[in-house]
């Protein structure tokens, strides 16, 4: 009964380095999302996917890329990390679109120095 699992939980990157955050869900959900949480800003949508092989941009997509090669996995990539990308990243999944509550992972705290 894992739900949504995010790895890693913590990471420190140097400016310019790249990394991939992995999100895995075991609920057979079609929709998956990546959010970032910053103080005073709430959760902002980076990218999302409405099914295997699909991706779409959210509110703040610049500097990030995503892939959904398998239904259960949604990867978030940072090609060249910047200090402005220091944040807590949350992955979520849902059965459908409107009205369905999201199931969130426990987050990845990323610091870019």
Partner 1 sequence: DQQVKQNSPSLSVQEGRISILNCDYTNSMFDYFLWYKKYPAEGPTFLISISSIKDKNEDGRFTVFLNKSAKHLSLHIVPSQPGDSAVYFCAASAGDMRFGAGTRLTVKP
CA distances from 29 to 24, 59, 63, 103 (A): 10, 22, 26, 10
Question: Which CB, 38 or 79, lies closer to partner 1?
Answer: 38
Q: Using the rule CB under 8 A, give the single segment among 12-20, 64-72, 78-86, 100-108 that binds partner 1.
A: 100-108
Burial (CB count <10 Å: 0-12, 13-18, 19+), residue 3? middle
Question: Which CB, 17 or 37, lies closer to partner 1?
Answer: 37
Residues that bind partner 1 (CB under 8 A): 4, 33, 35, 40-45, 48, 58-59, 90, 92, 97-99, 101-107
């Amino acid at each position: 009964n894992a739900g949504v699992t995010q790895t890693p939980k913590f990471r420190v990157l140097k400016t310019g380095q790249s990394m991939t955050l992995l999100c895995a869900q075991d609920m057979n959900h079609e929709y998956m999302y990546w959010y970032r949480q910053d103080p005073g800003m709430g959760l902002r949508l980076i990218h999302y996917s409405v099914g295997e092989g699909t991706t779409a941009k959210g509110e703040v997509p610049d500097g990030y890329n995503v892939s959904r090669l398998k239904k259960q996995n949604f990867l978030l990539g940072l090609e060249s990390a910047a200090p402005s990308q220091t944040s807590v990243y949350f992955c979520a999944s849902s059965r459908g679109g409107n009205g369905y509550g999201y199931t969130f992972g426990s987050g990845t705290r990323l610091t870019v120095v």
